[in-house]
Amino acid sequence: IDESNFVTRPPVVTIMGHVDHGKTSLLDKIRSSKTAASEAGGITQHITAYTIKQNNQKITFVDTPGHAAFSAMRARGASVTDIVIIVVAADDGVKQQTEEVISHAKAANCPIIVAVNKMDKEGANMDMVKAQMAERDMTPVDWGGEIEFIPVSAKTGEGIDDLLENILLQSEILELSADPEAKAKATVVEASLEKGRGPVATVIVQNGTLRVGDNIVCDTTYGRVKAITNDLGKQVKELGLSETGRVLGLNEVPVSGTIMVAQDSDKEAKDIATTRAEHARAKELSKSTKVSLEEMSGLIAEGKIKQLPVILKADVSGSLEAIKTSLEDIHNDEVKVKVIHSGVGGITESDLILASASEGCIILGFNVRPTGAVKSKAKADGITINTYSIIYDLIDDIKDALSGMMS
């Protein structure tokens, strides 16, 4: 790669956290708008993105919904991001979606800042939040760990400057850079079909500059950029590095999370998209069922796999911890188990999403089962779910798989 054109680019920061912990309010305060108040029922139901300026430096924020049903959006948010802000309400503490976003953030492998929000409230308890987070491997800097905890209030504005300064500091450490002259490459964070406008894609530019008139491909869709509106709804001619806007001109609605790339000609754009669409159809037709533990075991025996990623769910935290420890203890010199997520509770769609982000990942349930809907989705997505009611059966299966003995 020729890095001679590289310049510093603004950070993309994703705000995640439990429902109603104040993600949107915090962003509103930062942006001084009133989005949270105008949302249906005050619930964020899609991903939105804004670029702001702090001390003349830009920051792009991605807001994600906290409601349990929107796990896929949180996963997507985590994947476009440079820095994750986990919002925890100081009066409510760590909740189910807080735990989930910790896993997403860790999987995305990017720096995390914890914003402890609602500090203005009577029951605010910073130490409680710190203790709960420390229990989950998120130890605060002032407790000897590595995570910055910033007390904030979206209501009074307390701590917001601190938060922004912290983001800029983290961003400097990351040395984010890209080439504004390169062919534009942008991630689609959200897309929809709009009356009278056709397919509209909300994108964040990762490299290059996206301009009106560019020929673009986005997975199996293509087109030419007809118009771009920025996050304030204003028409613009182009989007620069890390900037966000809505792009018109694709022939179909692209899948969220896909990458939009500018091409030299409209023919090229069309050819790439149509070839991909044909491949996708062929793949759909020949869709194999699932990678079973036996097949993984075979791959391990052939030396093709060095670790077995698992997601572990159990009915109570005691057995969860016990199984997790035993699993992490099983290893030979070559192969080990990697528990990428563990939690108390049933096997959910969110687990499937995490599993599909990690190649060969298997979901293990102890005394918990997936619902019928989750089971059939797992089957369709080719994800293996094994459930057990005896700890030793589970451990033995994994031992056998690791030693390649199941094949």
- CB 229 within 8 Å of CB 246: yes
Which residue of this chain has its Cβ atom nearest to ligand GTP in the complex? Answer: 66
What residue 155 binds from ligand GTP, Na ion, Mg ion, none (CB within 5 to 8 A, per partner kind)?
A: ligand GTP
| Euclidean distance between CA atoms 393 and 386, whole angstroms | 11
Task: Tell which residue, 245, 177, 183, 244, has the closest CA to residue 217.
Answer: 183
Q: Do residues 12 and 82 lie in contact, with contact meaning Cβ atoms separated by under 8 Å?
A: yes
Q: Which is nearer to Mg ion, 70 or 366 (by Cβ)?
A: 70
Q: Note whether 34 binds Na ion by CB under 5 A.
A: no
The C-alpha angle 218, 82, 18, rounded to 5 degrees, equals: 95
Q: How far is the CB of 23 from Na ion (least distance, A)?
A: 8
Q: Are 86 and 1 in contact (CB under 8 A)?
A: no
Q: Which two three-digit tokens encode residue 377?
A: 């989705």
Compute how many residues bind Mg ion; rule: CB under 5 A. 3
**310 CB-side CA count, 13 A:** 31
Q: Which stretch binds Mg ion (CB under 5 A): 19-27, 166-174, 190-198, 248-256?
A: 19-27
Q: Which helix (H) or strand (E) covers residue 401, if one does? A: helix 391-402
| Integer Cα distance of 17 and 98 in angstroms | 5
Helical H segments across 286-390, by residue range: 293-301, 317-329, 349-356, 372-381
Give residues in contact with ligand GTP (CB under 6 A): 17, 19-25, 36, 42-44, 65-67, 117-118, 120-121, 153-155
CB of 43 to Na ion, least distance (A): 5
Residue with Cβ nearer ligand GTP (67 or 290): 67
**What minimum distance in Å lies between the beta carbon of 52 and Mg ion?**
17
What tokens appear for 312 in the block? Answer: 């572990």
Task: Give the shortest CB-21-to-ligand GTP separation in angstroms.
Answer: 5
Q: Which stretch binds Mg ion (CB under 5 A): 16-24, 75-83, 230-238, 270-278?
A: 16-24
As measured in angstroms, the least distance from the Cβ of 200 to Na ion is 24
Known binding-site residues equal 17-24, 63-67, 117-120
The SS3 assignment for 381 reads helix
Determine, following the binding rule CB under 5 A, whether residue 166 of this chain makes contact with Mg ion.
no
Q: What is the DSSP letter of 26?
A: H
Q: Which amino acid is at 304?
A: K
* Least distance (Å) between residue 152 CB and ligand GTP: 7
Binding of residue 48 to Mg ion (CB under 5 A): no
Nearer to ligand GTP, 91 or 219 (CB): 91
Residues flagged as binding site for GTP: 17-24, 63-67, 117-120
Contact between 64 and Mg ion per CB under 5 A: no
Sign of the Cα torsion 384, 390, 391, 394 reads negative
**Any contact of residue 303 with Na ion (CB under 5 A)?**
no
Q: What does 120 bind: Mg ion, ligand GTP, Na ion, none (CB cut-off 5 to 8 Å by kind)?
A: ligand GTP
Task: Please identify, among the stretches 44-52, 71-79, 80-88, 171-179, the one whose residues bind Mg ion according to the rule CB under 5 A.
Answer: 44-52
Nearest CA among 221, 224, 225 for reference residue 276: 221
Residue 42 tokens, joined: 């005050």
How far apart are CB 98 and ligand GTP at their closest, in Å? 11
Q: Which residue from 42, 123, 303, 382 is in contact with Na ion, where contact means CB under 5 A?
A: 42
Enumerate binding residues for Na ion (CB under 5 A).
Answer: 20, 42
Enumerate binding residues for Mg ion (CB under 5 A).
Answer: 23-24, 44
